[in-house]
A and B are shown apart, each in its own frame.
Chain A
Amino acid sequence: MGYIASQSLIAAQLVAVSGFTFDRSAPFRGSSSLRTSSMVRSTAPDLTDLLAHCALGDQRALAELYRQTRSRLYAVALRMLRSTDAAEEALQESFVKIWKNARVYRPDLAAPMTWMTTIVRNQGLDMLRRRQPEQTQRVLLDEEDDRLEQVADESPDPLALAMQGEAAASLSRCFGGLKEQQRQLISRAFYEGLSHAELADATGMPLGSIKTSIRRGLLALRTCLEGLGAEAGR
């Protein structure tokens, strides 16, 4: 996957570097300004292409990238920060970072959505870190968390799995193989951005047990995913 993505990024860079006119005002049309017909794409640009155009300073590419990904990335931010204001700020800061760093996006290292999600989650983690402990977090932690049940789905519907794609299906299956406690801790850490200490506070478990449980859970997850041959890329 990374390989194909690399090709299209490079193809887009080629447009900019090789003396074909890169018409800044017409980011996705291209056909009139390119002499090589094989480089003309008639379909909508994919996320990797859009990131490549962002790298070239094309603001419309960012607008389209935002349009295609905002609701998924916003869900991640909202889930972690649990406030509309904070999640909007996180999304905004993340897209400014995506814009500024698109030129160093490496399609061989990460899928576009993975790269962008990482930026959003790191932004969220930063914002959580800056929040003071007396703020509302602890109250929120006690809420019943129905998402955990979904993540820990032990008998997944095959059709749903097929639709989720192979990676998601593999993760679902491997998650199902973890101990209940490991699933809960890993899910809460991922979605809510909780530290080991915060998880200890939230669950009443000793800090050492939290660390051990998460570490064993992650390594079991890795072993299981590798066993399923679900590892993406290299």
Chain B
Amino acid sequence: MNYLKPELISALAGEYVLGSLKGRARSRFERLMAAEPLVQREVAKWQARLQPLADRLDPVEPSERVWKRIEKRIRPAQARSAAAADAAAGSGAFGQLVSAWWRRLALGSSALAGVLVAVLLLRPPAPAPTVAAAPPNWDMWSILLSADNKPHIIVCASKSSRRLWVMVNRPQTVAADRSLELWMMPADGSGQPKSLGLVPTDGVHQIQLATTVQERVAGVPVLAVSLEPAGGSRSGAPTGPVLYSGPVLFKKTT
């Protein structure tokens, strides 16, 4: 399929969002979208482009019975989630809460079936990750997702410290002659990724920096983990496939 011509992709994405693409063509496009991040981004762009059309409709109040029905539908799921959270007792408040949080994510997985907004959806993560510790006063973090949008690694830190905490959310299986390496990706795709060092395949790990986190990650939009030869890339640039990536985020201060 010579589907990946930018103009054609953009037009099809526009027609998909518009809704005029129907039937088999729509199903075909949805399959393409599921496989191609580029297509997902184009769809997201069209959603934003056409959103003002929806915004300009005059609001209409729905009947009160709609909310009553919604409430009825969501209550059982809510009860299950709460029970799961309560049951997730562990050692230490942090581990307990993290465990509850992830277990809840896993629990809700059946809810995902059949939702059409594939571009905006992630697959549910597998249950029972373990995160045992966190830095004090963390105010920067990044959740690194795999290509199929599962959260694998959390990086977090206090901006004023010189230490990055890397928490592996689910144990990785990596061949003996391979290592996982963490990179700061350049802004706007220009420039070279810079290594932050190796990351473990399991557990919690700290990366010591020469400068503060603030200085080191300033302007870095994305962190990524690639698969490299044991001990890390020798060329100083990522050589293996990028397994996980996620945006660098800072806690909003008010």
Contact = CB atoms under 8 A, between A and B. Distances in A.
Interface of A: 3-4, 6-8, 10-11, 13-14, 16-19, 21-22, 24, 36, 38-42, 56-57, 59, 62-63, 66, 70-72, 74-76, 78-79, 84, 87-88, 91-92, 95-97, 99-101, 103-106, 108-111, 113-115, 117-119, 121-122, 125-126, 129, 147, 150-151, 164-165, 167-168, 171-172, 185-187, 189-191, 193-197, 199, 214-215, 218-219, 221-222, 225, 231-234
B230 to A, nearest CB: 32
Given A75-B57, A126-B116, A172-B52, A95 B104 contact: no
Interface stretch (B14-22, B191-199, B233-241): B14-22
30 contacts: A7-B249, A18-B138, A19-B92, A19-B97, A24-B85, A42-B254, A66-B70, A72-B55, A79-B57, A87-B62, A88-B65, A92-B73, A96-B74, A100-B115, A101-B112, A104-B124, A106-B122, A110-B120, A111-B51, A114-B48, A121-B54, A151-B56, A164-B55, A190-B50, A193-B19, A195-B22, A231-B48, A232-B48, A233-B44, A233-B48
B105 A103 contact: yes
Given A218-B15, A218-B18, 6 more contacts: A10-B249, A21-B93, A38-B254, A59-B78, A171-B50, A218-B11
A229 B137 CA distance: 38
Nearest to A216: B11
B87 to A, nearest CB: 14
A85 to B, nearest CB: 10
Interface string B90-126: 0011100110010011001001100111011110100
B251 A103 contact: no
A205 to B, nearest CB: 13
Interface core residue of B10, B40, B44, B122 (most chain A CB under 10 Å): B44
A172 B55 CA distance: 12
Nearest to B48: A232
B48 A74 contact: no
Contacts of A72: 54-55, 57, 59
Interface of B: 7, 10-11, 14-15, 17-23, 40-41, 44-45, 47-63, 65-67, 69-71, 73-75, 77-78, 81-82, 85, 92-94, 97-98, 101, 104-105, 108, 111-112, 115-117, 119-122, 124, 131, 134, 137-138, 141, 143, 149, 247, 249-254
B49 A222 contact: yes
A92 B69 contact: yes
B105 A197 contact: no
B120 A106 contact: yes
Contact of A104 (B21, B93, B120): B120
Nearest to B246: A108
Contact of B97 (A16, A71, A79, A232): A16
B19 A101 contact: no
Interface core residue of A21, A38, A114, A190 (most chain B CB under 10 Å): A114
Contacts of A125: 19, 116
Contacts of A76: 54, 57
Contact of B251 (A7, A66, A87): A7
Given A70-B61, A117-B54, A88 B66 contact: yes
Contacts of B14: 215, 218-219, 221-222
Contacts, number: 245
Contact of A191 (B53, B124, B141, B254): B53
B253 A38 contact: yes
B251 A168 contact: no
A87 B98 CA distance: 39
Contacts of B11: 215, 218-219
A14 B117 contact: no
A201 to B, nearest CB: 13
A14 B251 contact: yes
Contacts of A41: 254
Contacts of B119: 109
Given A10-B141, A59-B78, A189-B20, A168 B52 contact: yes
B67 A113 contact: no
Given A7-B250, A11-B251, A129-B22, A119 B117 contact: yes
A162 to B, nearest CB: 14
Contact of B52 (A66, A167, A219): A167
